Amino acid sequence: PTKGAKTRSNKRTDKMIVRRRSK
C-alpha cells in the first residue's frame, strides 16, 4: 500500500500510514 512499507519495520505506524493513504 505505502511506498516505504517494505522498508518500514514499524507495523503500528505502517497501519496508520496505510489508513491515511487510503483516504
Q: What is the pLDDT of residues 12-21, one digit of tens each?
A: 666 666 676 6
- The stretch 2-6 carries a mean pLDDT of 60
Q: Which three cell numbers stand for residue 6?
A: 517494505
Read off the amino acid at residue 5: A
C-alpha cell at 15: 497501519
**With bands split at pLDDT 50, 70 and 90, how would you rate the model's confidence at 11?**
low
Count the Cβ atoms, other than its own, within 10 Å of residue 10: 9
Q: Pick the residue with more confidence: 5 or 18?
A: 18
Query: pLDDT at position 21, please?
Result: 61
Confidence label for 1 from pLDDT (cuts 50, 70 and 90)? low
Averaged pLDDT for residues 1-23: 63
Q: Which of 6, 7, 5 is nearest to 15 (CA)?
A: 5
